[in-house]
A and B are shown apart, each in its own frame.
Chain A
Amino acid sequence: MTLYIRGMLKLDDLSARVGEGDEAKTILNGLSLEVPAGEVHAIMGPNGAGKSTLSYVLTGREGYEASAGSAMLEGEDLLAMEPEERAAKGVFLSFQYPVEIPGVPVMTFVRAAMNAQRKARGEDEISAPDFIKKAREVGAKLKIDADMLKRPVNVGFSGGEKKRLEIFQMMMIEPRFAILDETDSGLDIDALKTVADGVNALRSPDRAMLVITHYQRLLDHIRPDKVHVLAKGRIIKTGGPELAEQLESEGYDGILGEVL
């Protein structure tokens, strides 16, 4: 009998250039990474290391196309898909800077998103009562009141509310592979705890997560299986949770000096 553990996300020698013509800069430079199903990996790195670029390349944002290498999700080529196709395959990005959508209430938006994904996968739409029930449950866990869900997406929300709404959407959509880009920025300690509880609740053997962060403090609450250090567009070091602590005490300069 062969035991076969499939990598949920597999990045191989991934490179990306951002900008056009003479302005183009190589941001990702031969990045390789594998996140197996059931695991939570953290990516840490100094400013400008390419953390946000990685999240945009994986989700297909215009202007962030890969120039070389591959990105596979459960054996399928992510880079060949439109952003909405990637979402339907289960890719979710919790944005570092969540976007305001004037005029579209949260409930309308999240339901439209869930149903669009279900439709793309050939599944039935979620019924209105089921949707409302689930939204209430998830909202309660994240301390989001019903009024906030009636307001237009992110319009007039505080930084903390925006981040909680990202996690709300993640818990509603239940993605296969979630990227959390600097979710801890702008959160006070209570909100950080609430958000981390939400993320931990989503840990599951058939789900993987990539937590992108500059600081260690989120990782005190979301214990990663592995920590990768991203610098100059590639992973320069991989370790266990203790690597995050080392980074916190020694700073990036120490690690970068050690490796480069």
Chain B
Amino acid sequence: MTLEDVRNQFTDPTPADLQLIARYGELPDDARRARAFEAFAKSGLPNRRMEQWKWTDFRAGASSLETSSGKANVELPLPDNALLLRFDGKRWHLPEKLPTGLNVFEKTEAQALGNAEELPMAALAAGLTGHPKSIDILQVEVTASIEQPVFLDFDFAGREMAFARIAFVVRPQARIDVIEQHRGGAGLSSTIIEFGLQKGAQASRTLLQAGGKEEATAVTAAISLEENARFKQTALGFGAKVARIETRVSYNGPNATASLNAAYLPAPGYHVDFTSNVWHGAESCTTRQLTKGAVPDGGRGVFQGKFHVPRTVGQHTDADMQHKALLLEDGAEVFAKPELEIYADDVECAHGNTSGQLDETALFYMRQRGIPKAEARALLTEAFIVEALATAHDAVKDALNEASRNFLRREG
């Protein structure tokens, strides 16, 4: 397929789409990548006319691609013993030494572990990674329990666009802890993180996303779990002009468990979207999901969660989805769509979805004790958020709580 053919796939390309097409043209031919880019071309940058993107419009958010000047003022400390894998917007930088049981392969093409590539922003990343001259795809093989956390540092400063991809294959009974810092810096970015957890494997993922006010950024994760595998995810999102943190979990073997916790704190002018889809494709799997958000005037939070429990294979599913939002001020916006699609009959599935304001009675109680109004609001909000971050990796939990505290003090 020529570049002209690719361009013709776009019905109404925006200037940003044209930049993406040009970028695609710089890459060598590759059938797998071509399929991904064609999949992206069907819709172009996802926009509000698409059901799954009605609240998170990348076409509007990335009208033309420029380097983002506003960098978020939030940073995680690099834990002492962490293995740093840094992505500079173009390529990965690896540590000199790796522990036994951890193998890192630089790739020019990726073997998909999950179904992330079905999603337009992930398809875009799949279509635009695999540059032969700069390593933008990594595959990590974990064959033992690795005590040191792997720290993925995504820093796109100075780029118009950035695309990265990393996959973790965790062999039976092995374990890995991953900490991710998504600092943003590019006008448009999309990252794919995949986990393939084999029998009895464990992985944790702790994520901080804090992008600039002029960027559109997507972080898409796909996690597949075999029998008895365990996955634990904790994310704190401050958003960007448009930010989507999407997680797809699929259970492929029985008795696997996943917990998905997230907190969103979009400042005025920021947008953060947590979208997830959990496929209970095996019996007796357990999902626990808690998403909390606190939004000031001018901030925008989105939660879209879906549990899908098929009739034949989803028996004895135990799944709970909770979304709770605090609207801190008039003008705060929260959009939520929790969905349970259950076809199996012997399951325990529950969900809750609330959004409201701070408890005036509690605020008065605190002020009566001498705590100033702004401080009381911040304390109450912090206490509300902290529950969702309780599952974070110990090495960065305090830093995440401090980041949320600083945000709430500033907003107070």
Footprint of B on A, CB under 8 Å? 59-62, 82-84, 86-88, 91-93, 95, 98-104, 109-110, 112-114, 116-117, 120, 152, 169, 173
Q: Which residues of B contact A91 (CB under 8 A)?
A: 368
Q: Contacts A82-B373, A112-B375, A116-B375; is A101 near B368 (CB within 8 Å)?
A: no
Among listed B31-39, B94-102, B381-389, interface-contacting one: B381-389
A108 to B65, CA, bound (A): 47
B380 close to A (CB within 8 Å): yes
A101 to B379, CA, bound (A): 10
Residue of A nearest to B369 (CB): A113
Residue of A nearest to B374 (CB): A84
Known contacts A82-B367, A84-B368; can you find 10 more A-B pairs with CB under 8 A? A83-B368, A86-B368, A87-B368, A93-B368, A102-B384, A103-B386, A113-B366, A116-B371, A120-B372, A169-B369
**Can you list 18 A-B pairs, Cβ within 8 angstroms, ordered by A?**
A59-B368, A62-B364, A82-B367, A82-B373, A83-B368, A84-B372, A86-B368, A91-B368, A92-B368, A95-B368, A99-B364, A101-B380, A102-B384, A103-B382, A103-B384, A103-B387, A117-B369, A169-B369
A104 to B387, CA, bound (A): 11
Q: Contacts A61-B364, A62-B364, A95-B365; is A88 near B380 (CB within 8 Å)?
A: no
Q: Contacts A101-B380, A104-B383, A112-B375; is A88 near B370 (CB within 8 Å)?
A: yes
3 interchain residue pairs of minimum CB distance: A103-B383, A87-B370, A113-B369
CB-contact partner of A173 in B359, B366, B369, under 8 A: B369
Residue of B nearest to A86 (CB): B368
Q: Which residues of A contact B359 (CB under 8 A)?
A: 99
Residue of B nearest to A101 (CB): B362
A92 to B369, CA, bound (A): 7
Q: Is the CB of B364 within 8 A of A113?
A: no
Q: Is the CB of B371 within 8 A of A98?
A: no
Q: Chain B nearest CB: distance from A131 CB in Å? A: 15
Q: Which residues of A contact B364 (CB under 8 A)?
A: 61-62, 83, 99
B394 close to A (CB within 8 Å): no
Q: Chain B nearest CB: distance from A103 CB in Å? A: 3
A61 to B362, CA, bound (A): 11
CB-contact partner of B370 in A61, A103, A120, under 8 A: A120
Q: Which residues of B contact A95 (CB under 8 A)?
A: 365, 368
Q: Which residues of B contact A101 (CB under 8 A)?
A: 362, 365-366, 380, 383
Residue of B nearest to A117 (CB): B370
B361 close to A (CB within 8 Å): yes
Chain B 194-251 residues near chain A, CB threshold 8 A: none
A100 to B361, CA, bound (A): 9
Q: Contacts A104-B379, A104-B380, A112-B379; is A99 near B369 (CB within 8 Å)?
A: no
CB-contact partner of A116 in B361, B370, B380, under 8 A: B370
B80 close to A (CB within 8 Å): no
CB-contact partner of B362 in A87, A88, A99, A173, under 8 A: A99
Residue of B nearest to A64 (CB): B364
Q: Which residues of A contact B371 (CB under 8 A)?
A: 84, 112-113, 116
Q: Which residues of A contact B386 (CB under 8 A)?
A: 103
Q: B374-412 CB contact bits vs A (8 Å, 1 = yes)?
A: 011001101110110000000000000000000000000
Q: Which residues of A contact B12 (CB under 8 A)?
A: none
A112 to B368, CA, bound (A): 12
Chain B 327-371 residues near chain A, CB threshold 8 A: 359-362, 364-371
Q: Chain A nearest CB: distance from B77 CB in Å? A: 23
Q: Which residues of A contact B383 (CB under 8 A)?
A: 101-104, 152
A87 to B370, CA, bound (A): 5
Q: Chain A nearest CB: distance from B376 CB in Å? A: 8
Chain B 16-41 residues near chain A, CB threshold 8 A: none
Q: Chain A nearest CB: distance from B359 CB in Å? A: 8
Q: Which residues of A contact B360 (CB under 8 A)?
A: 62
Q: Is the CB of B370 within 8 A of A99?
A: no
Residue of B nearest to A179 (CB): B368
A128 to B92, CA, bound (A): 46
Chain B 167-202 residues near chain A, CB threshold 8 A: none
Q: Which residues of A contact B384 (CB under 8 A)?
A: 102-103
A124 to B384, CA, bound (A): 29
CB-contact partner of A84 in B361, B362, B367, B382, under 8 A: B367
Q: Which residues of B contact A99 (CB under 8 A)?
A: 359, 361-362, 364-365
Residue of B nearest to A59 (CB): B368
Residue of A nearest to B386 (CB): A103
Q: Chain A nearest CB: distance from B373 CB in Å? A: 7
Q: Which residues of B contact A60 (CB under 8 A)?
A: 367-368
Q: Contacts A102-B383, A103-B383; is A87 near B365 (CB within 8 Å)?
A: no
A173 to B359, CA, bound (A): 24
A112 to B369, CA, bound (A): 9
A98 to B360, CA, bound (A): 13
Q: Is the CB of B365 within 8 A of A113?
A: no
A104 to B359, CA, bound (A): 14
Q: Among B364, B368, B375, which residue has the most Cβ atoms of chain A within 10 A?
A: B368
A104 to B383, CA, bound (A): 6
A160 to B365, CA, bound (A): 18
Q: Which residues of B contact A61 (CB under 8 A)?
A: 364, 368
Q: Which residues of A contact B370 (CB under 8 A)?
A: 84, 87-88, 113-114, 116-117, 120, 173
Residue of A nearest to B364 (CB): A61
A93 to B387, CA, bound (A): 30
A251 to B367, CA, bound (A): 36
Q: Contacts A101-B362, A103-B384, A103-B386; is A83 near B379 (CB within 8 Å)?
A: no
Residue of B nearest to A87 (CB): B370
A62 to B361, CA, bound (A): 10
CB-contact partner of B369 in A62, A82, A100, A109, under 8 A: A109
Q: Chain B nearest CB: distance from A126 CB in Å? A: 13
Q: Among B359, B367, B376, B384, which residue has the most Cβ atoms of chain A within 10 A?
A: B367
Q: Contacts A61-B364, A62-B360, A99-B362; is A87 near B369 (CB within 8 Å)?
A: yes
